[in-house]
Amino acid sequence: MHIRGARAKLVGDIAIIGIGEVPTARLPERTPWDIVYETCVEAIRDSGLGKDEIQGVVSLVPVAQPTLANELAFGQLPERLGLKGVRDSAMVNAGGASSSNAVRLAEQWITSGVADSVLIQHVTVHSTIPVAEQIDAFARAGVDMQWEYPFGPTYNIIMGLIAARYMYETGATAEEMASVVTALRSWAEHDPHSLFYGRPPPSVEQVLGSEMINTPLHKRESNVLADGGAALVVVSAQRARELGVPAAFKLGESARYFSGTCVGRDFQQFNDGMRVTAQEAIARSGLSREDIDLWNVYIAYPLAHPLMAESLGVAPPGEGARYFAEGRMSFGGDIAWSTIGDAPGRGHTGSGVGAACLVETARQLMGRAGKRQVPDCRFAYQNSTGGSGFNNIVTIWGRGE
Amino acid sequence: MTAQPDLTKPLPEVQPWTEAFWEGTRHGRLLVQACNRCQARIFVPRKLCPECWSPDLGWIESAGRGTVFTFSTAYSMVEPRFTDELPYTIAYVNLAEGIRIMTRIVGCDPADVAIGMEVEVVWHPRGDLQLPYFRPIARDDP
């Protein structure tokens, strides 16, 4: 008999003990610094630590917001918030993989003695960026300026290229692919931090009835840009246990680099990378795949989720899309999958979806996810992927019992 | 006031070691970088062979034929500088010489583009050089 988590490390080196988050929205009157105050104060209060006990601050890069990025990179946050105990402040940028890298830097500071407790935060306000700047930033990010950009690709087109090949190889239908949107948005309906909170998910017919942006991607299979922010407080695992508060302990990690150019990204290498990072991270946690209670996948586009489900062994090869169509990954389904609905559920907040997913992983392990709570959630898979998919980082988290 | 969008068609950001490739496009020659030491076919072109790190790199001329690995036809939500070209089809094409490149598929109804379709290079002027686009290879009448 398999004893659940019998060999698990259970604690690891660090733990998240506080979270703070604002609902995603398009609210131009909510400035970036307004959001920073809200999320950071909430996370620090939630951790039970005093403000002057925070010794390190790590910000995720706010994509397409160069002035804000400079303010955060060059240390304005600790001063503005009056965090008198801070010894150092830095920013990390690996696009969508910034969240996992922020955790790594916090872990390094904590285990090397630089800081006992670290505040991690992300903020993005898309709604005040002029449309031309937004389009420009997103068109150039993640593509090669010599061999790709002159032909006119976009993030949506890059996703279209991947999805077209996936559908060709697996025979997945447009209806099955559209059902991923319905599934992910079904979580958002019950998520108070989503701009779609309380709104029923679109049906498959509604998704397929929306404008074709680029084959095979419909408008409702693309993401709405939104404003948002999230913060986390990280301490050593030992400290978290001494404090005795609900916490999410980092148990294991694995990463793979794929390629900087989209066209250089071998599809098989990508699938293998997704599979092997999950296997390695789970093994390093002393767990087995059956121990994972929550697959908190972050890959931004709904059309990439079936491929992920197959790479992770959650669905058999070629059947990822069908699993979504059957409602198995939906709110109320039998597989706890992306319980904030990834970017389709939250709106796209640049590198912030990764931060929001991390907050959700902690929230689920702390048992505070409300109607979305995964019953007896002990272990969670969390990934992040940067740029247009240059890498994948997997972390496994547990509640430290 | 909203700033006017930049409508200039982007030129490839040429590097010193890729000048030969872009010079070739001016003469309708599609070149594939190859390592003279380990014979690797290289895309995207580098300053050093990514396999063996040899700086001894050269070029072979492609026959200009390949097959569509995947494609996506855009109908909207592209950069303003490309809006006048909608709809257009972006594709990854596998060249017979063993590399895969990003390109456009032209010369047919976008609805007729298919994965596995055989295509041949057709040159598209951009500034003082040319971009390699591809079109379906016309089948002989039975």
Interface test with A, best of B70, B95, B126, B133 (most A CBs within 10 A): B70
Q: How confident is the model at residue B2 (pLDDT cuts 50, 70, 90)?
A: low
Taking the CA of residue A5 and the nearest CA in chain B, the distance in Å comes to: 42
Alpha-carbon gap, residue B26 to B30, rounded angstroms: 10
Q: What is the pLDDT of residue A117?
A: 98
Task: Return the structure tokens found at B119.
Answer: 């295509």
Give, as one character, the DSSP assignment of residue A214.
E
Compute the average pLDDT of residues A121-128. 95
Q: What is the pLDDT of residue B6?
A: 81
The CATH architecture that domain A155-221+252-398 belongs to is: 3-Layer(aba) Sandwich (3.40)
Cis peptide before B50 (omega within 30 of 0): no
Distance of CA A284 to the CA centre of its chain: 21
Alpha-carbon gap, residue A364 to A109, rounded angstroms: 26
Complex prediction ipTM: 0.96
3-state secondary structure of A278: helix
Q: Chain B partners of A215 at a C-beta cutoff of 8 Å?
A: 71-73, 110
- Lowest average pLDDT, out of A48-57, A116-125, A263-272, goes to A263-272
Interface test with B, best of A177, A215, A261, A268 (most B CBs within 10 A): A215
CB contact under 8 A, A150 and B71: no
A14-129+227-243 and A155-221+252-398: same fold? yes
Q: Chain A partners of B3 at a C-beta cutoff of 8 Å?
A: 130, 132
CATH 2.40.50.840 assigned to domain B63-142? The reply is yes
CB A290 within 8 A of CB A320: no
- Residue A392, φ and ψ in degrees, nearest 5: -145, 130
Summarize pLDDT for B78-137 with one digit per residue, the tens.
Answer: 999 999 999 999 999 999 999 999 999 999 999 999 999 999 999 999 999 999 999 999
Summarize pLDDT for A280-322 with one digit per residue, the tens.
Answer: 999 999 999 999 999 999 999 999 999 999 999 999 999 999 9
- Residue B76, φ and ψ in degrees, nearest 5: -165, 180
Task: Return the structure tokens found at A192.
Answer: 């108070």
Whole-model pTM over 0.80: yes
Q: How confident is the model at residue A5 (pLDDT cuts 50, 70, 90)?
A: very low
CB A120 within 8 A of CB A106: yes
Taking the CA of residue B65 and the nearest CA in chain A, the distance in Å comes to: 18
CB contact under 8 A, A152 and B79: yes
Smallest CA–CA distance from A135 into chain B, residue: B79
Smallest CA–CA distance from A137 into chain B, residue: B79
Summarize pLDDT for B26-45 with one digit per residue, the tens.
Answer: 999 999 999 999 999 999 99
Strands (E), B57-105: 57-61, 65-74, 88-95, 100-105
Taking the CA of residue A34 and the nearest CA in chain B, the distance in Å comes to: 25
For chain B, give every domain's residue range.
14-61, 63-142
CB pairs under 8 A between A and B: 118
The CATH architecture that domain A14-129+227-243 belongs to is: 3-Layer(aba) Sandwich (3.40)
Q: How confident is the model at residue A135 (pLDDT cuts 50, 70, 90)?
A: confident
A174 touches chain B (CB under 8 A): no
Q: Chain B partners of A157 at a C-beta cutoff of 8 Å?
A: 72, 74, 78, 90
CB contact under 8 A, A264 and B72: no
Taking the CA of residue B2 and the nearest CA in chain A, the distance in Å comes to: 7
Task: Return the structure tokens found at B98.
Answer: 């063993």
Interface test with B, best of A157, A177, A212, A217 (most B CBs within 10 A): A157
Nearest by CB: A213 against B15, B75, B102: B75
CB A48 within 8 A of CB A18: yes
Interface test with B, best of A128, A146, A270 (most B CBs within 10 A): A146
Interface of B with A (CB under 8 A): 2-6, 9-15, 18, 43-44, 69-82, 85, 88, 90-92, 100-104, 110, 115, 126, 131
Compute the average pLDDT of residues A43-70. 96
Q: Of chain A residues 302-331, which have a CB less than 8 A from chain B?
A: none
Compute the average pLDDT of residues A8-28. 90
Smallest CA–CA distance from B94 into chain A, residue: A263
Summarize pLDDT for A140-181 with one digit per residue, the tens.
Answer: 888 999 999 999 999 999 999 999 999 999 999 999 999 999
For chain A, give every domain's residue range.
14-129+227-243, 155-221+252-398
- Residue B90, φ and ψ in degrees, nearest 5: -95, 140
Whole-angstrom CA distances from B40 to A71, A85, B58 are: 45, 55, 10
Q: How confident is the model at residue B3 (pLDDT cuts 50, 70, 90)?
A: low
Q: What is the pLDDT of residue A1?
A: 36
Alpha-carbon gap, residue A272 to A274, rounded angstroms: 5
Task: Return the structure tokens found at A145.
Answer: 């300026």
Q: How confident is the model at residue A203 (pLDDT cuts 50, 70, 90)?
A: very high
